[in-house]
């Protein structure tokens, strides 16, 4: 009785230790030493201040800003849900938490890192450890009124 229990436990242990044992059919081959990084992600209505929500996330090294947004959405769909449109530049974020950009009002979702606007789109920007990422509902100047 005791012996079969020990054998069973040993078998379970082996199953866990066997390389790929419980991880067959994964899309990408996962190394067991995949490095993880921590980021802080905020979604904020910088116009009407209707919301300002943040979350700490642990994501694989090499993740894009878009990947971070997708992970946050999966964890808390109510606060971090978003939509996007594909352009030649990649994914353009069109709404966050149900708040949509509006070209007539010159509003858009601005991407920032440590309070500095990004010069790359969400899909192209690779995030770093301890980075403070933000998508902020903002206004851009009317055409012909861009700051010099
Ligand atoms: C105008 C403009 C904007 C306007 C667009 C709204 C409007 N109605 O005018 C605003 C201010 C909203 C904007 C926002 C951003 N932009 Co912009 N934008 C431009 C600019 C100067 C011209 C685009 C244009 O009108 N083309 C002509 C029309 C006819 O072509 P179109 O394909 O229909 O243009 C649309 C797309 O370009 C889209 N769009 C605009 N910016 C971006 C950025 C990304 C990543 C995507 C996927 C789409 C996109 O909006 C345009 C109007 O509908 C380009 C530079 C350039 N010379 O192309 C940068 C440019 C495309 N933007 C850029 C960036 C980085 C951004 C932001 C990520 C900045 C930020 N820190 O938030 C955000 C997008 C964030 C998001 N929500 O996903 C980069 C993209 C670089 C890259 N490799 O990813 C560019 C190339 C400027 C640069 N840094 O060199 N942008
Ligand atoms: C969002 O809230 C944080 C504090 O939680 C504050 O520091 C930050 O300025 C706020 N952002 C905006 C755009 O209001
Ligand atoms: C922000 O508030 C103003 C008035 O307080 C309103 O007219 C406008 O539609 C609001 N914008 C959004 C995007 O909710």
- Answer whether residue 44 is part of any domain: yes
125 SS3 class: coil
Contact 121, 89 (CB under 8 A): yes
DSSP secondary structure code for residue 73 in this structure: H
The protein residue whose alpha carbon is closest to atom 10 in ligand 2 is 52
- 131-139, strands of its sheet edge to edge: 52-60, 36-45, 131-139, 107-113, 116-117
pTM: 0.85
Burial of 62 (0-12, 13-18, 19+ CB in 10 A): exposed
Pocket of ligand 2 (CB under 6 A): 44, 46, 49, 52, 136
67 SS3 class: helix
**Residue-level pLDDT, tens digit, the chain, 148 residues:** 445 444 444 434 334 443 333 334 444 555 667 899 999 999 999 999 999 999 999 999 999 999 999 999 999 999 999 999 999 999 999 999 999 999 999 999 999 999 999 999 999 999 999 999 999 999 999 876 655 5
- Answer whether residue 30 is part of any domain: no
- Answer whether residue 15 is part of any domain: no
Read off the CATH number of the domain in which 134 is found: 2.170.130.30
Mutation to probe ligand 2, out of 45, 46, 52, 54 (largest number of atoms < 8 A from CB): 52
**Total domains present in the chain:** 1
- Answer whether residue 119 is part of any domain: yes
- Answer whether residue 74 is part of any domain: yes
pLDDT at 142: 80
């Amino acid at each position: 009785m005791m012996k079969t229990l020990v054998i069973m436990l040993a078998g379970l242990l082996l199953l866990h230790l066997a390389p790929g044992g419980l991880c067959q059919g994964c899309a990408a081959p996962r190394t067991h030493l995949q490095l993880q990084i921590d980021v802080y992600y905020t979604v904020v209505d910088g116009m009407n201040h209707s919301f300002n929500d943040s979350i700490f996330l642990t994501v694989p090294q090499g993740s894009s800003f878009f990947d971070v947004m997708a992970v946050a959405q999966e964890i808390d769909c109510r606060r971090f849900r978003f939509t996007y449109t594909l352009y030649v530049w990649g994914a353009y974020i069109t709404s966050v938490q149900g708040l949509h950009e509006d070209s007539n009002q010159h509003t858009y979702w601005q991407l920032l890192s440590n309070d500095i606007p990004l010069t790359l789109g969400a899909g192209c920007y690779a995030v770093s450890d301890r980075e403070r990422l933000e998508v902020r509902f903002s206004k851009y100047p009317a055409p012909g009124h861009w700051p010099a």
